[in-house]
Amino acid sequence: MSWQETKSVRIDKARDAYLKHVDHVPEVASRADNYLYYIVEEVEKRNMPMEIALIPMIESDWDPFAASHSGAAGLWQIMPATGDHLGLKQNSSYDGRKSVRDSTTVALDYLETLYEQFDKDWFLAIAAYNTGEGNIMRARKANEAKGLSTDYWSLKLRKQATDYIPKLIALAQIVAEPERFDVELPAVENAPSFEVVEIGRPLPMSKAAKLAGVDLETLRALNPGQLRETLSPGRPFEMLVPVENANRLEANIATLSPEQLVQWNTYRIKPGDSLARIARAFDVDVEVLQDINSIEGSKIRAGDVLKIPDGNHEAHPPQGYMVREGDSLSRIAGKFNVSVDDIIDWNALDPGAYLKPGQELKLYVEEG
């Protein structure tokens, strides 16, 4: 029997709640255009129930940047600890929970694991995905002790988990037969919306957008796992690009030298510096610095010069500022409407050091 044929008052109630706000489902569904085809394909490859492809609509309203108050993030709303357990990379530069491909892969892997764990029952597996496998196990044991059924519909769970499967089935019913429920859904093209382009090196997102001929907002929506402007090696310098722009980006990258692709800074290492501090100061990933400068491990030597991609500040080229008598970090920060921490990071300053008249600072602010 199809899930959509499942009869339950809880499903009817969930469907009525969706239909009460008739514009909500079409509005949220319109955000799926970039992601739905890919997720449907991945679900089909694994022979999983197609209703699973709608989970991101419940979890995140198809918003890859969504973050909950509890710390869950991305289309599939994966918690940090769950992401770590599933092997997702998470650091200050890259969050695999927000990556369209990485998060989908581990979410489906996790659902398959839960399916095997819970007697090959998809309702229990999906409920465990939502509320945690421990909660499902405890609810089943409680029912067993009372001689009650241990199927999903018989378990006493938290309200969110109790409503979760009914919401998923109700949503599937509406999507399958929108005309029956007088809902007008936006058309989603039955074709890939993006291609993976191998960049092969650090590249500012804004530069990639220009080379691809696509607006920056679109590129960021396809690559939400990238937390910095300069592409970080979450996957080895890959980027998701709209299908119609992928060839153009590849062709333009092929004609440019590394120096043309990325604006470079140099930085002379000071005593007490660390790779992590330098990376933070220039808003790049430690792995990028290691890769560009052929550094193994984390050891660096004072006096050596590092090459650093400067794409993170492409929107506002650095403005030089000469420190004057009586200047302080807080005074300069207030004058240019930036934070003291910004100035410290941009110039790799020692927070405890005094500024000297004549000292030149680099400020990433608009001219004038």
**Which helix (H) or strand (E) is 122 found in, with range?**
helix 122-131
Residues 107, 193: Cα–Cα separation, whole Å: 20
Assign 3-class secondary structure to 298-356: CCCCCCCEEEEECHHHCCCCCEEEECCCCCCHHHHHHHHCCCHHHHHHHHCCCCCCCCC
End-to-end CA distance of the chain: 68
- Picking from 36, 25, 107, 95, the residue whose alpha carbon sits closest to that of residue 66 is 95
Residue 195 is a catalytic residue: no
- How many other C-beta atoms lie within 10 A of the C-beta of residue 115? 19
Residues 130, 59: Cα–Cα separation, whole Å: 9
38-45 CB contacts, 8 Å cutoff, 24+ apart? 38/100, 38/101, 38/104, 38/192, 38/193, 38/194, 39/104, 42/104, 42/105, 42/108, 43/108
Q: Which two tokens stand for residue 344?
A: 């410290």
Q: What are phi and psi of 161, to 5 degrees?
A: -75, -35
| Greatest pairwise CA separation for the chain in angstroms | 82
What is the Rg, in whole angstroms, of the alpha carbon atoms belonging to the chain?
Answer: 25
Using an 8 Å Cβ cutoff, are 173 and 25 in contact? no
Using an 8 Å Cβ cutoff, are 241 and 181 in contact? no
DSSP 32: G
Could you give the count of Cα atoms lying within 13 Å of 300 in the half-sphere of its Cβ? 26
Pairing state between β 194-198 and 238-242: antiparallel
**Among 51, 59, 229, 287, the one annotated catalytic:** 59
In 3-state terms, what secondary structure has residue 20? Answer: helix
> Which residues are the active-site residues?
59
